[in-house]
Amino acid sequence: MKAKILNPKSILLLILFVILAAVTLTPFLSIFLASLRPGREIMRQGISLNIDLSIMSFDNYAYLFSGETMYFTWFKNSVLITSVQSVLTLIVSAFVGYGFAMYEFKFKNLLFMCVLFIMMIPMEIIMLPLYQLIINLKLIDSIWGIILPFVASPLPIFFFRQYLSGIPKDFLDAARVDGCSEYGIFARIIAPLMKPAFASMGIFVGMNSWNNFLWPLIVLNSNDKLTLTIGLNTLISPYRNNYDVLIAGAVFSVIPIIILFLFFQKYFIAGMTAGGIKG
């Protein structure tokens, strides 16, 4: 290591990357510092890197945890929706991905093309009729309205199919000879093999669900059912000072993800870059 650092080119590179890393982290630092200042100050001055210990305190966080705000109701809702959506989406998408990876059947290529196409269509395009459909199905203002339309999710299907296509099909025939049903093979033999793939996609689906904004904003309307992102958004108002809860709440919503990331980096990275994997 020491020999490397002495190299002038290494030092130049290191300086460049330290500057870039500092720029990347500045928004985090500034919003964290802002969360320690009274909301009135933020309204008047915006956020900055100034540290003024005389006005800084953890009061905003104390207020957040005091139970006087809706914050923890939203936090619980987000945890619930993220958990249910991740588990359901993983199971359903693994099921579908397995079907595409392991069998030959009529219209397989056409159907797989459909998976690729919906992956590339922005959901906002069909938002209006989808909303009307959710009303007709009586799923409005319910977590099922958020989850069901996206339960067979194209990227996880694609990822699981790629992951499974490496498994030799003779493997399945051996199990069939032993009297295992098609679904038994999936549940007892294949699913346990997919643990790393589940971890990557679990993080991908979970993070998208935790951060999801537009569709839950449309589906949910009672204040006690809102998720964190939508709840925080309701606090953004030019006419009232909600900055105490807003900024501390925003920081606190990011912290769990960053902690998870530091522990499970490998899976985060595999999940986030899954689309780029070519089979």
Q: Nearest approach, Cβ of 195 to other proteins (angstroms)?
A: 20
User: Per rule CB under 8 A, is residue 165 in the interface with other proteins?
Assistant: no
Which residue of 66, 132, 165, 223 would you call a contact of other proteins, by CB under 8 A?
Answer: 132
Interacting residue with other proteins among 176, 188, 195, 240 (CB under 8 A): 176
CA distance readout (Å), 159 to 100, 175, 183: 11, 24, 20
Looking from the CA of 266 toward its CB, the CA atoms found within 13 Å total: 4
**Is residue 6 at the binding interface for other proteins, with CB under 8 A as the rule?**
no
Please report how close the Cβ of residue 25 comes to other proteins at its closest, in angstroms: 7
Do 247 and 39 contact (CB within 8 A), yes or no?
A: yes
- Using CB under 8 A, which residues numbered 28 to 67 contact other proteins? 28, 30-31, 34, 42, 44-50
Q: Which is nearer to other proteins, 133 or 193 (CB)?
A: 133
Q: Does 187 bind other proteins (CB under 8 A)?
A: no
Q: How far is the CB of 50 from other proteins (least distance, A)?
A: 8
Q: Is 117 in the site for other proteins (CB under 8 A)?
A: yes
> Counting Cβ atoms within 10 Å, is residue 61 exposed (0-12), middle (13-18) or buried (19+)?
middle
How many of the chain's residues bind other proteins (CB under 8 A)? Answer: 98
| C-alpha–C-alpha distance, residues 203 and 209, integer Å | 10
- Closest separation between CB of residue 252 and other proteins, Å? 10
The residues in 66-105 that bind other proteins, with binding defined as CB under 8 A, are: 92, 95-96, 98-100, 102-105
Q: Which stretch binds other proteins (CB under 8 A): 53-61, 66-74, 109-117, 194-202?
A: 109-117
Smallest gap from Cβ 23 to other proteins, in A, equals 8
Residues between 213 and 232 with contacts to other proteins, criterion CB under 8 A = 213-214, 218, 229, 232
